[in-house]
Amino acid sequence: MIGRFFFVSLFMALFCSSVLAAEPVKPAASGTPNTTVQAATVAAPAAQPVAATAAKPIEAPKVAVPALNKVRPNRGITIGMFGVIIAITLGVVVWAAKKTTTASDFYAAGGGVTGLQNGWAIAGDYMSAASFLGMSGLISLYGIDGFMYAVGPAFSFIAILLVIAEPCRNAGKFTLGDILSFRTSAKPVRAVAAVSTVTVSLFYLIAQMVGAGKLMQVLLDIPYKVSVIGVGILMVGYVVFGGMKATTWVQIIKAGLLMSGTVLLAFLVMAKAGFNPVTLFTDVVNSPQIQDHVRINLLKDAIPKEGFDYGQRFLEPGLFLKNPLDQISLGVAWALGAAGLPHILMRFFTVPSAKEARKSIVIALFINSSFFFLINLIGFGAALYLTPQLISSVDKGGNMATLLLAQLLGGGAGSLGGDIFLAFICAVAFATILAVVSGLVLAASAAIAHDVYVNIVMDGKADQHTQVKVAKITSLVVGISAIVMGLMAEKENVVAFVALAFAVAASGNFPVLILSLFWRNFNTAGVLSGLLVGTITTLGLVMVSPVMTYPQQIANGAKKIITALETKQAGGSVLNEKELKVLEKAQADFKKNDGGTSMMGLKAPLFPLKNPGLVSAPIGFIAAILGALLFREKRAEDMFDEIEVRQITGIGITKASDH
């Protein structure tokens, strides 16, 4: 199995290399206007190509979808698939509930999960709805910039594998707070670690809840709000009754289903291109619809620039991550953030030995690498065979691209094959949300119940029954909070929230985790300053960054289109039907957004990067180091030898339970 996944990863790497070699990148036009993800709008029907290309432009395939603003699955088949997923996972919960009697069972499955099982479970935890739906949608709307989001996570596990997997497993018990408080003042450190854990988990949870609402809206044709509330109640139930044992097996089942669906979708995309990646990307470049999307929606060029290749521009960076530093910043957040994600750290405590912890990370690395490479094929295939115009008309954030592509490649709307394939992919995506949310809710509830209630409020004296009871109550509270935030984020592309979670983890959790494990002089002040400064800095920069919605910028982009078309009219030219529709929409956008401000009252971002990792991560490290140096703590320094021995040998760690 591992060998096959490695082969797929290597094969995809060769695919990407051959495409880059065959299609040299051309310089981007200067003066490209600054747009944001919210600026993606529905374009008018595509006309003939507007720029010269290397080959004869292809005709975009006809899309077998009855309406441009709705996905129409077969209700009976879809509900049937949905029922199968529910039945299987409920069976897992019933089985796990009988075996969950202690706090160790609830938080860490008694430490009895094998490396192979844990590797698949970590992959299931990591391959989220944002990955499956959001990343493919981002690629279908923004091209190669979405690719940056998709390949980044594949490399983040190297930091975990090489640096922290074994030490964390040997030094901790259930949570990040357990590791950080070992040689520091436990109560303040646990309190701040719990706040950071909940912050990261909620950002990640928002992405899953948005995906859940969209999927249930498609599956059962019910309002988004009702979908989020209903799905949220169901998913929280899995954690409350099954704990880590149920979560682990739900994640394993989900990872197997997700890889099967992803491989099949990517296979069908490549089959349509004759299994030639160069053909696929050449067709992408030559697609009139993609050219129009880049020109009108992304670059805001109402009138084509002579000789400018808008199709090739789709395969060049800068349509979404316009600042090159944004790409570096995103890479920093991915590489360091995964090592600080609470729900990933918790999985190290479920295996019986450090050897099994390392084995689980290797397995997860190969599975994740394969998945994220294949997502790129799905995203570009969606852009080519569906068109960005159709994708954004169904969902402005692009989150439905994978589902629409499954329906099309299965035979189209109304066909038996299309209905079955769409229902299967919907069920897979729903299983994905079930698994990831379970892990996130468990991590957040563990931080509140274990770190705050048991070790701060009760000073570590709560009995097993009380600990499990409090953990279940906090799981319910966290779930309700996620539902509320999911309702508020209906229109956003879910991948942005995952990126923010990674940035917080990279800037707050990762610096203090590394320093706590490997620096003798690290202490309480270092942990507190690193967590607080890193987290607050990240959130502050995000609130004034381009990732927020700026109505005035949308108005400015619309004004550019209006000016160009009105100038053409003033010169005596008559606008065709397509240009009149573009002008009408631009005028409406300008009227709606002119003078508007972001939720922070800004007309334009103060911080230029969409992801703050490049700035916030160093600030988190600096704050942690300065805090430790300014407020020395002899006890923390003296206990470093003990934690060093524990992380190397595993002496003193709780053994796996027998059940």
Which of 542, 549, 522 has the alpha carbon at shortest distance from 639? 522
DSSP state of 57: P
Which of 449, 475, 474, 473 has the alpha carbon at shortest distance from 462? 449
Which of 331, 340, 344, 339 has the alpha carbon at shortest distance from 613? 331
C-alpha span between 18 and 276 (Å, rounded): 10
Quickly tell me which residue has 């009408």 as its tokens.
Answer: 584
pLDDT number for residue 250: 85
DSSP state of 109: G
In the numeric block, which tokens belong to residue 181?
């408080």
Q: Write down how long the chain is.
A: 659
Q: Is 3 helix (H, G, I), strand (E, B) or coil?
A: helix
| Beta-carbon-side half-sphere exposure of residue 173 (alpha carbons within 13 Å) | 15
pLDDT number for residue 610: 82
Instruction: Please answer whether residues 202 and 65 qualify as being in contact, where contact means their C-beta atoms are separated by less than 8 angstroms.
Output: no
Overall number of domains in the chain = 1
Q: Provide the pLDDT confidence category of residue 265 given band limits of 50, 70 and 90.
A: very high
pLDDT number for residue 218: 65
C-alpha span between 501 and 508 (Å, rounded): 11
Task: Return the biggest CA–CA distance within the chain.
Answer: 84
Residue 214 scores a pLDDT above 80:
no
Mean pLDDT of 125-151: 81
Q: Provide the pLDDT confidence category of residue 581 given band limits of 50, 70 and 90.
A: confident
Cα angle for residues 348, 350, 356 (degrees, 5° grid): 65
pLDDT digits (tens, 9 = 90+) for 225-240: 888 887 778 777 777 7
C-alpha span between 542 and 167 (Å, rounded): 32
Instruction: Please answer whether residues 524 and 189 qualify as being in contact, where contact means their C-beta atoms are separated by less than 8 angstroms.
Output: yes
Q: Say if 546 falls within a structural domain.
A: no
C-alpha span between 402 and 135 (Å, rounded): 10
C-alpha span between 481 and 205 (Å, rounded): 9
What is the separation, in whole angstroms, between the first and last Cα of the chain? 27
C-alpha span between 26 and 324 (Å, rounded): 16
pLDDT number for residue 1: 38
Burial of 158 (0-12, 13-18, 19+ CB in 10 A): middle
Q: Say if 365 falls within a structural domain.
A: yes
DSSP codes, 305-365:
PTT--HHHHTTSS-SSS-SHHHHHHHHHHHHHHGGG-HHHHGGGGGSSSHHHHHHHHHHHH
The domain in which residue 386 lies consists of 103-490
Torsion, Cα 642 646 649 654, to 10 degrees, reads 140
pLDDT digits (tens, 9 = 90+) for 16-25: 333 333 333 3
Which of 436, 311, 447, 440 has the alpha carbon at shortest distance from 383? 311
In the numeric block, which tokens belong to residue 213?
């609402």
pLDDT number for residue 580: 87
Q: Say if 441 falls within a structural domain.
A: yes
In the numeric block, which tokens belong to residue 636?
């923390």
The pTM assigned to this predicted structure is 0.75
H-only helix segments in 181-294? 186-220, 224-272, 277-286, 288-292
Rg over alpha carbons for the chain, rounded to the nearest Å, is: 25
Q: Say if 233 falls within a structural domain.
A: yes
pLDDT number for residue 264: 94
Q: Say if 320 falls within a structural domain.
A: yes
Alpha carbon distances (Å) from 200 to 191, 216, 441: 15, 25, 11
Cα angle for residues 479, 90, 493 (degrees, 5° grid): 45
Percent of the chain with pLDDT over 70: 83
Q: Say if 234 falls within a structural domain.
A: yes
| Beta-carbon-side half-sphere exposure of residue 156 (alpha carbons within 13 Å) | 31
Quickly tell me which residue has 């595509």 as its tokens.
Answer: 46
29-38, 153-162, 317-326, 575-584: lowest mean pLDDT where?
Answer: 29-38
Residue 268 scores a pLDDT above 90:
yes
C-alpha span between 10 and 271 (Å, rounded): 19
pLDDT number for residue 70: 65
pLDDT number for residue 621: 95
Instruction: Please answer whether residues 534 and 507 qualify as being in contact, where contact means their C-beta atoms are separated by less than 8 angstroms.
Output: yes
pLDDT digits (tens, 9 = 90+) for 605-622: 898 888 898 999 999 999
Please enumerate in sequence order all residues whose Cβ is within 8 A of that of 249, keeping only pairs 6 or more positions apart, or say none. 92, 96, 121
Q: Say if 335 falls within a structural domain.
A: yes
Which of 95, 7, 112, 27 has the alpha carbon at shortest distance from 369? 7
Amino acid at 144: I
pLDDT digits (tens, 9 = 90+) for 368-377: 888 988 999 9
C-alpha span between 325 and 329 (Å, rounded): 6
Higher pLDDT, 194 or 211: 194
pLDDT digits (tens, 9 = 90+) for 30-60: 333 333 333 333 333 332 232 333 333 334 3
pLDDT number for residue 251: 87
Instruction: Please answer whether residues 169 and 351 qualify as being in contact, where contact means their C-beta atoms are separated by less than 8 angstroms.
Output: yes
pLDDT digits (tens, 9 = 90+) for 240-254: 777 888 888 888 988
Mean pLDDT of 498-511: 84
Q: Provide the pLDDT confidence category of residue 492 given band limits of 50, 70 and 90.
A: low
In the numeric block, which tokens belong to residue 473?
């109550």
CATH of the domain at 322: 1.20.1730.10
Measured in whole angstroms, how far is the alpha carbon of residue 194 from the centre of its chain?
A: 22
C-alpha span between 639 and 183 (Å, rounded): 6
C-alpha span between 325 and 320 (Å, rounded): 12
Q: Say if 641 falls within a structural domain.
A: no
Instruction: Please answer whether residues 399 and 494 qualify as being in contact, where contact means their C-beta atoms are separated by less than 8 angstroms.
Output: yes
Please enumerate in sequence order all residues whose Cβ is within 8 A of that of 551, keeping only pairs 6 or more positions apart, or say none. 592, 593, 594, 595, 596, 597, 598
Please enumerate in sequence order all residues whose Cβ is within 8 A of that of 537, keeping only pairs 6 or more positions apart, or say none. 507, 612, 615, 616, 619, 620
Q: Provide the pLDDT confidence category of residue 183 given band limits of 50, 70 and 90.
A: confident
Q: Provide the pLDDT confidence category of residue 532 given band limits of 50, 70 and 90.
A: very high
Alpha carbon distances (Å) from 163 to 159, 175, 182, 339, 509: 6, 18, 19, 9, 14
C-alpha span between 432 and 595 (Å, rounded): 41
Mean pLDDT of 512-520: 90
Q: Provide the pLDDT confidence category of residue 651 given band limits of 50, 70 and 90.
A: low
Which of 99, 124, 126, 123 has the alpha carbon at shortest distance from 112? 99
Tell me what the pLDDT averaged over the chain comes to.
Answer: 79
Q: Provide the pLDDT confidence category of residue 337 given band limits of 50, 70 and 90.
A: confident
pLDDT number for residue 182: 82
